[in-house]
Amino acid sequence: MDRFTDNIDKQIEFNQGKNILFNNLEIFEFTNDTVKAISKTDRLHVNSKQFLIDYATDKAIEEFCRVNQYYSFDSKAKNDLRKIYADLLESFQTKTDSIENISKNHYEKLKKWIKESNPFAEKIYKNDLRKVNPVACSEYSPDLQIHVLKIDIEHVMQPVLDVGCGNQGHLVRYLKNRGIDVFGLDRCKFTTPNLITADWLEYDYGKEKWGTIISHLGFSNHFNHHHLREDGNYIAYAKTYMNILNSLKVGGHFHYAPDLPFIEKYLDNNQFYMKNSGINHDDFKMTIIKKIK
Ligand SMILES: C[S@@+](CC[C@H](N)C(=O)[O-])C[C@H]1O[C@@H](n2cnc3c(N)ncnc32)[C@H](O)[C@@H]1O
């Protein structure tokens, strides 16, 4: 199985950074190794084939998110992509078409899928070059995040949830090592028990469950992006924002950066106390919301 997964990794690497919305999809190709490997998959058990379809789906989504962190893929988009990879496997096995046609059809389907699941992509990449420049998306040191989010480690109310904790979960690991009951949530694939793989718009935060919720350049950054985007999913973000606040225990806090002035002004002052501050005297601001009842 490792041989097949290595091959998927290499195939994705081969097409890395190419612009799927570029007019000429001939820039996308299957490597000879991919063609050889897929032709052998008919010998595999149905469960192994499903495993490879899921693996290719996850890897492709990871690559899209690496290029642009604002791509978002809900359960429907993921299932549609699985179907595209299942069809690809099927066309290789039935061998009723040439490799060139299989390749052309496959990349046409991928292009249609990204246009449907993330319509904003067409606007920004349609007239772009063969290669796209990735949108900056980094992970930051625990010290920097603690400073920006103004977290008082000695008195932090537990349990803690870091929303969009990053692939490395730096802050989660740091807090865990300090004996704090902490969980991280991100769409990355994790195998560590206190790091949860989930979409923050689909996760069930619960009610009066968390002592502290934190999110550094995560949820609120994307909420801002959707607020400003013409076709933004800001309603889903606003609902999740309220779900997050309602999942705090009374006396609990939500610390996030950047701030969200366009929604913070509508919060019920009887239920939430809000403090907004600048970081290092520039325009970048963070917010702490305390649930008071
Ligand atoms: C700029 S990184 C910040 C990571 C971390 N908070 C830090 O400061 O080091 C943003 C993170 O948000 C995650 N993310 C983006 N959209 C998400 C979604 N819909 N659900 C869960 N996580 C998401 C990304 O995977 C990425 O790890």
Q: Would you state the torsion angle of the CA atoms of residues 137, 235, 117, 202, taken in this order, to the nearest 10 degrees? A: 70
The ligand 1 atom at the shortest distance from the C-alpha of residue 188 is: 25
Look at residue 108 and give its three-state secondary structure. Answer: helix
**pTM exceeds 0.85:** yes
Report the alpha-carbon distance of residue 74 to residue 66 in Å, rounded: 17
Cis status, amide bond into 258, omega within 30 of 0: yes
Residue 224 CA to ligand 1 centre (angstroms) = 14
Pocket test for ligand 1, best of 139, 182, 183, 225 (most atoms within 8 A of CB): 139
The reported pLDDT for the residue numbered 279 is: 86
Domains, the chain, with CATH or none: 2-125 (no CATH), 142-291 (3.40.50.150)
How would you write the pLDDT of the chain (293 residues) with one tens digit per residue? 788 899 999 999 999 989 998 877 888 888 988 888 887 888 889 999 999 999 999 999 999 999 999 999 999 999 999 999 999 999 888 878 888 899 999 999 999 999 999 999 998 888 767 888 888 889 999 999 999 999 999 999 999 999 999 999 999 999 999 999 999 999 999 999 999 999 999 999 999 999 999 999 999 999 999 999 989 999 999 999 999 999 999 999 999 999 999 999 999 999 999 999 998 767 899 999 999 99
